Structure 1
């Protein structure tokens, strides 16, 4: 069972993709996996990212990511 992760802006550049599939887990497990997989560019970015789970803001890193869900990884955006 997996979740869909969508990377936006600088997170997409750090991951080298806009979308990927990950095993269903917790938010912290996803973050740890992304840091291992994408290395330093993602490590610099991840602490300032916001996360949306199925369109709802998510702050609890111990929260489960249910299979079939979509997680958006949103770095800080500039402009206005």
Structure 2
């Protein structure tokens, strides 16, 4: 089975919950954004799932609303928790 590697970048409370600013994650070829989010839940089971429930995602700098969107090798997935302020 072939794999792809993505870079996940965490911001604000997502960074605190993951305990790191960014990490590389390997997934099976054909994986989607939703598959990546499921893997992040598995990798960081204590605090990150709560943040992921409310987070928004950017894939290569573009907002992702459809978590079935496929990933490509080398993609950058940003995890953006809700921000307060105005």
* Pairwise same-fold verdict (TM > 0.5): yes
Matches within 5 A, 1:1-80: 1-24=4-27, 25-80=31-86
State the Cα RMSD in Å: 1.2
Once the two structures are superposed, what CA deviation does each residue of 1:4-54 show, in whole Å capped at 9, x if it has no partner? 110000001111001000124211111111111111311111111000011
Select the structure of larger CA radius of gyration: 2
Provide runs of 4+ in structure 1 moved above 4 Å. Answer: none
**TM-score for the superposition, normalised by structure 1:** 0.91
Gaps of 5+ in 1: none
When normalised by structure 2's length, the TM-score is: 0.85
What is the CA distance between 1:79 and its match in structure 2?
2.3
Query: Would you tell me which structure has more helix in proportion to its own residues?
Result: 1
